[in-house]
Structure 1
Amino acid sequence: MQPGKLSICLIDDDRIYQFAARKTIEATGMAGSVMVFSNGLEALDYLKSHLEDVSQLPDVIFLDINMPVMNGWQFLEEYQPVSEGLKKNVIVYMVSSSIDEYDINRSKEFQAVSEYILKPVNKEKFSELLSSVTP
């Protein structure tokens, strides 16, 4: 990863969204790397296997809700105890197309979630979110 740039983790099963979000994040010029996972379990396994190596951990996670294998809610339940062992503060943004008040309010129940963001996310919004994070 490039010095001063952020390491981003994108967890979403939609391949078209993965591609568009990665390109949009890269276009902000703030990302040194963008890791993409298709479900929460893949991402959780990655995080668990890199607990001790801070350089391999993301600075920011953009997390979808509806995914196969392990959805966003299940990821957050499993992530909570893992996050306490991380030697790095990782910012988590819940990103979804759901405007359901239940989902929005539920995201607030998780200490790890910094904000609930509606899809699609444009370059300006990614820039705004990423500019508040220091690598």
Structure 2
Amino acid sequence: MKGNNRKLDCVLLIDDDEATNFYHTIVLEEECEGLYIQSVRSAKEGLDFLLRKGKYANTPQPGIIFLDINMPGMTGWDFIAKYNDLSADIHKRAVVAMLTTSDNPDDRQRASALPAVIEFVHKPLTAEIFRKVMEENFN
């Protein structure tokens, strides 16, 4: 995907842990001034954001989605299954990076088999991880 014409206006953080979202927001704010950062605490709310439902009607579309795997209710895997059914327009605009505490090699293998997932990295989100995703996927 290198050399594409994507421009990053928004990052979506999907993690059920509020403290994790808070920390990751700080990392992103320090790395990219003026970037719209939205954190949500469930995969369902992440889908609502992507589809601009309800309170998200006038929000920018994310270019990067940092997605936790293990969440109550709808997991990160469930989110990806629903994400795959979304419009091609959303897929052209956004990339998904799984951000997890999982050490399970099956999770890494499962993620690598999903075209929508471009990274599988361990928490916490760092400036280096963010820059790598940026450099590989955005102008």
The TM-score normalised by the length of structure 1 is 0.84
2:9 alignment counterpart:
6
1:21: which partner in 2? 24
Cα distance, 1:105 vs structure 2: 0.5
Q: Structure 1 residue 70 and structure 2 residue 70: aligned?
A: no
> For the Cα contact (< 8 Å) 1:37–1:43, is it kept in 2?
yes
* Higher relative contact order, chain-length normalized (CA < 8 Å, sep 6+): 2
Listed as ranges, the matches of 1:55-94 within 5 Å are 56-86=60-90, 88-94=92-98
Q: 1:46 matched to which residue of 2? A: 49
Maintained 8 Å contact 1:5/1:30: no
Find 1:36's aligned residue among 21, 36, 39: 39
Over aligned residue pairs, what C-alpha RMSD do you find?
Answer: 2.4
Please give the secondary structure, in 2, of the residue aligned with 1:128.
helix
Distance 1:43 1:134 in 2: 21
Aligned-residue sequence identity (percent) comes to 30
Q: Which amino acid aligns with 1:19?
A: F
Contact 2:11/2:65, CA 8 A, preserved across alignment: yes
Name the amino acid aligned to 1:65: I
* Residue deviations 1:7-32 (CA, integer Å, cap 9, x gap): 10000011111010000011112661
Aligned amino acid, residue 17 of structure 2: D
Q: Larger deviation: 34-43 or 121-130?
A: 121-130
Question: Structure 1 residues 104-113 or 76-85, which shifts more?
Answer: 76-85
Task: Measure how far apart 1:87 and its partner are.
Answer: 7.2
Tell me: CA distance 1:108–1:94, structure 2 relative to 1, closer, same or farther (3 Å): same
Secondary structure at the residue paired with 1:65? coil
5+ residue gaps, structure 2:
1-6
Unmatched runs of 5 consecutive residues or more in structure 1: none
- Whichever residue aligns with residue 112 of structure 2, its letter is K
How many residue pairs align between the two structures? 130
Question: Which whole-Å CA distance do the structure 1 matches of 2:91 and 2:128 have between them?
Answer: 30
Q: Which residue of 2 aligns with 1:128?
A: 132
